[in-house]
């Protein structure tokens, strides 16, 4: 009897831990020099992902921000993070593009004059584990959050004119 209760308890704890593991994730943002720039916390919501970023040491102004398809932030250019997260092979970028289907699109990040940025935003286009048929950020090859040098115009192909990748964090 005790063994059955122990096995049931361990099973419930394991299931609870597995469920909690996919309800949130983090990404440590780093610059091309490997310097820590901030943290992103992702929380699974019923219809998407809530993203909170706290960063410092970035260039002031607007910066493109995207979810990229691979959990690899190889410096110095972060190209190893691949393209944006997407569900179709003919990807059309842009939150303002009527044909847009790029699930990695996010609003721009504003960095204050002191190099600090704080934002909380919601993306209905992704999921941590693939809920609702949205791309899973925690799939087999992972994903990354990338900050670009320039703002995203939300229309131009392939990345809205956002330019070079200046910071990257692997979603874990």
- The tokens for 156 are 């131009």
13 falls within a domain = no
**pTM, two decimal places:** 0.85
Provide the domain limits for residue 62: 24-170
10 falls within a domain = no
Q: Which of 1-10, 73-82, 139-148 has the lowest mean pLDDT?
A: 1-10
The per-residue pLDDT of the chain, averaged, comes to 88
Flag whether pLDDT at 88 surpasses 90.
no
Closest CA to 157 of 80, 81, 105: 105
pLDDT at residue 113, as a whole number: 98
Contact 76/149 with Cβ under 8 angstroms? Answer: no
Kindly state the percentage of the chain with pLDDT values over 70: 87
What's the whole-number mean pLDDT along residues 112-123? 97
4 falls within a domain = no
> For the chain, first and last CA: distance in Å?
39
Q: Rounded to an integer, what distance in angstroms lies between the CA atom of residue 88 and that of residue 86?
A: 6
pLDDT at residue 75, as a whole number: 82
19 falls within a domain = no
12 falls within a domain = no
pLDDT at residue 17, as a whole number: 40
Number of domains, the chain = 1
2 falls within a domain = no
| Rg of the chain, C-alpha, whole Å | 18
CATH of the domain at 31: 2.60.40.200
How confident is the model over 1-54, as pLDDT tens digits?
Answer: 443 333 333 343 344 444 444 699 999 999 999 999 999 999 999 999 999 999
């Amino acid at each position: 009897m005790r063994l059955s209760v122990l096995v049931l308890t361990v099973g419930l704890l394991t299931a609870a831990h597995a469920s909690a593991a996919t309800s949130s994730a983090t990404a440590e943002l780093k610059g091309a020099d490997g310097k820590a720039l901030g943290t992103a916390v992702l929380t699974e919501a019923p219809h998407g992902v809530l993203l909170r970023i706290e960063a410092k040491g970035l260039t002031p102004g607007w910066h493109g921000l995207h979810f990229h398809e691979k959990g690899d932030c190889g410096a110095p250019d972060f190209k190893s993070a691949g393209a944006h997260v997407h569900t179709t092979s003919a990807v059309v970028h842009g939150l303002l593009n009527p044909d847009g289907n790029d699930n990695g699109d996010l609003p721009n990040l504003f960095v204050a004059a002191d190099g600090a940025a704080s934002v909380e935003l919601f993306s209905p286009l992704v999921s941590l584990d693939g809920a609702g048929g949205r791309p899973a950020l925690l799939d087999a090859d992972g994903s990354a959050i990338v900050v670009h040098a320039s703002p995203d115009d939300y229309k131009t192909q392939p990345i809205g004119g956002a330019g070079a990748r200046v910071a990257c964090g692997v979603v874990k």
